[in-house]
Amino acid sequence: MPSLPLDDENLPLFTVGQVSSMLEIQQAFLRRLDTLGVVRPSRSSGGQRRYSRSEITVVQYVARLADEGMTLAAIRRVMDLEAQAGQLEAQLGHLVAQNGGLEEHIGELRARIAELEQRARQLAAERDALRAALAEAREQAGRPAGPPRPPG
């Protein structure tokens, strides 16, 4: 079943009058928010402001902050800082995920190093056993235990 336009919270459906009525705020306040860049609604083909549900939520938040005594410039700064904080949180999440992957990779590399070190010890032990067997075989053959001497 296809989704309805009302399901899209970013679809600009509501006029200034509708938002003003819904939130019980002045239309002039909504226009001022747009002029100051606090909330920038879309425009219809006729140039009318159209608000989405997500923008209405932001307008409601701004109206609450204004009611608490904040200026629109301060509210815009708060919203900018909140957006930056959201971006930083997203970056942090990405870095944490990367770090987890790196830690896993480091663990795999450490395990591989341990395997290689074990194999090196095994090979060294085999080399030493072969040297000892060679020395014993030379002794039994009546030759010196060291490497053969060059003629001369």
With contact defined as beta carbons under 8 Å apart, do 40 and 46 qualify?
no
Above 90 in pLDDT, residue 77? Answer: yes
Share of the chain above pLDDT 90, in %: 68
Above 60 in pLDDT, residue 145? Answer: no
Q: How confident is the model at residue 94 (pLDDT cuts 50, 70, 90)?
A: very high
Give the pLDDT confidence of 120-138 residue by residue, as tens digits. Answer: 999 999 999 999 999 889 8
Render 14-80 in DSSP notation, one character per residue: B-HHHHHHHHT--HHHHHHHHHTTSS--EE-TTS-EEB-HHHHHHHHHHHHHHHTT--HHHHHHHHH
The angle subtended at Cα 89 by Cα 84 and Cα 90, nearest 5°, is 100
CA nearest to 67, candidates 15, 17, 23: 23
Two tokens, residue 15: 């006029």
Two tokens, residue 77: 């700064």
Give the pLDDT confidence of 51-76 residue by residue, as tens digits. Answer: 999 999 999 999 999 999 999 999 99
The count of other CB atoms within 10 Å of the CB of residue 38 is 21
Q: Which CATH number fits domain 5-70: 1.10.1660.10, 3.40.50.2300, 3.90.850.10, 3.40.1830.10?
A: 1.10.1660.10
Q: How confident is the model at residue 142 (pLDDT cuts 50, 70, 90)?
A: confident
d(CA 90, CA 20): 33
Domain ranges of the chain: 5-70
With contact defined as beta carbons under 8 Å apart, do 29 and 63 qualify?
yes
d(CA 45, CA 6): 20
The separation between the first and the last C-alpha atoms of the chain, rounded to the nearest angstrom, is 97
With contact defined as beta carbons under 8 Å apart, do 12 and 52 qualify?
yes
